[in-house]
Amino acid sequence: AQSVAQPEDQVNVAEGNPLTVKCTYSVSGNPYLFWYVQYPNRGLQFLLKYITGDNLVKGSYGFEAEFNKSQTSFHLKKPSALVSDSALYFCAVRDRSSSNTGKLIFGQGTTLQVKP
């Protein structure tokens, strides 16, 4: 069964420090991987995705993610956190070997708290 796991409910980091939000996946074929961010009382905003090619993907707002096939991980990173990065982050996967339905499976979300 396809699944995505975000092992941390919350990540706390001081402003200016690097941050990592973890994600691991399980799919039957090669995955499409996505990160979305949800600010309070807002919809989900697309941050970045991995389809193929370079394992390091750069996205919006200075975020990047590293695809690691051997560890089946796609951790979200940022070199220097901002207070405004505080939000709920979702990792999602789509199994590209499935029929072309576009169905995304989301992790349970990780709340990022950046303190001044």
Question: Should residue 15 be labelled a site residue for other proteins when binding is judged by CB under 8 A?
Answer: no
Closest CA to 59 of 76, 44, 42, 71: 76
C-beta atoms surrounding 6 within 10 Å? 20
CB of 46 to other proteins, least distance (A): 6
**Judged by CB under 8 A, which of 56, 68, 104, 113 binds other proteins?**
104
Cα–Cα dist 64/20, whole Å = 10
Write out the residues near other proteins by the rule CB under 8 A. 32, 34, 36, 38, 42-46, 49, 51, 88, 90, 94, 100-106, 108-109
